[in-house]
Amino acid sequence: MSKLRPVILLTGFGPFPGVQENASAALVPELASQARKLFPGHHVEAAVLPTEWRAGPAAAAALIGELMPVAALHFGVSGKARGFVVESRGHNHARPICDAAGRLPSSDRLSPEGPDILAASVPAARIVERLRRRALPASLSRDAGGYLCNAVLYGSLERARQASRPMRCGFVHLPATLGLASAPFRAGVRLDWPQAIEGGLEIVAAALGRPPRAC
Ligand code: PCA
């Protein structure tokens, strides 16, 4: 049954040095269960990726290869994000930062033959507009950082380019303090949990080319 329906893949990340509880890992399953109700014509798959140079992008690529989703939307957290930060592109580079397994990237390039930049295949600017129209804090970013979020975005975009069918692929950073009971609204973070779910559903709708949901 699921194979007959187009697939939406949602991913979050597990913990990594400095972030013991990654909000994206808790958000994605909840977002997926809401998305299943809202988009019954789609099969929604949720996964939490290891924040590891080798295993993270490999897990994302394996899921994409297996599921061939029409949309692959990746979520992660950033200490700098104050609301939704929608990434418009992935860079072919890796900074020497330790992953959750204590390892560094094997090279400063993610893909030896790949282009320097790959543009997100979701309408990133339009997503920001749609989130703001719902009065949700959102900004557009041209730099997903040099760590695993950028690596997964770049890797998925590269994988999507080889696919025979079009795939909308994007990345959204969320505030690192999102949903943490011990750190509610800190340093200008303006996003709470219900808003993160509401915005997440709007992002899925936008990626599918659906009209904005009623407020
Ligand atoms: N944030 C990190 C990796 C995992 C996550 O949630 C990043 O911004 O690269």
Q: Ligand 1, closest atom to CA 24?
A: 6
Query: What's the pLDDT at 152?
Result: 98
Give per-residue pLDDT as tens, 24-43.
999 999 999 999 999 999 99
Query: What's the pLDDT at 184?
Result: 52
Query: What's the pLDDT at 182?
Result: 55
Q: Ligand 1, closest atom to CA 16?
A: 4
Query: What's the pLDDT at 213?
Result: 78
Query: What's the pLDDT at 88?
Result: 98
Query: What's the pLDDT at 1?
Result: 47
Please tell me the distance between residue 181's alpha carbon and the centre of ligand 1 in angstroms. 20
Please tell me the distance between residue 3's alpha carbon and the centre of ligand 1 in angstroms. 30
What CATH superfamily classification does 7-207 receive?
Peptidase C15, pyroglutamyl peptidase I-like (3.40.630.20)
Residue positions counted in the chain: 215
> Ligand 1, from 10, 53, 77: best to mutate by most atoms within 8 Å of Cβ?
77
User: Is this prediction's pTM over 0.75?
Assistant: yes
For the chain, what are the domain ranges?
7-207
Residue pair 148/52 in contact (Cβ under 8 Å)? The answer is: yes
Dihedral, CA of residue 149, residue 154, residue 155 and residue 159, to nearest 10: 140
Residue pair 153/61 in contact (Cβ under 8 Å)? The answer is: no
Give per-residue pLDDT as tens, 109-133.
999 999 999 999 999 999 999 999 9
Query: What's the pLDDT at 120?
Result: 98
Dihedral, CA of residue 121, residue 131, residue 67 and residue 113, to nearest 10: 30
Q: Ligand 1, closest atom to CA 150?
A: 9
Low-confidence ranges of the chain (pLDDT < 70): 1-3, 180-188
Q: Ligand 1, closest atom to CA 173?
A: 8
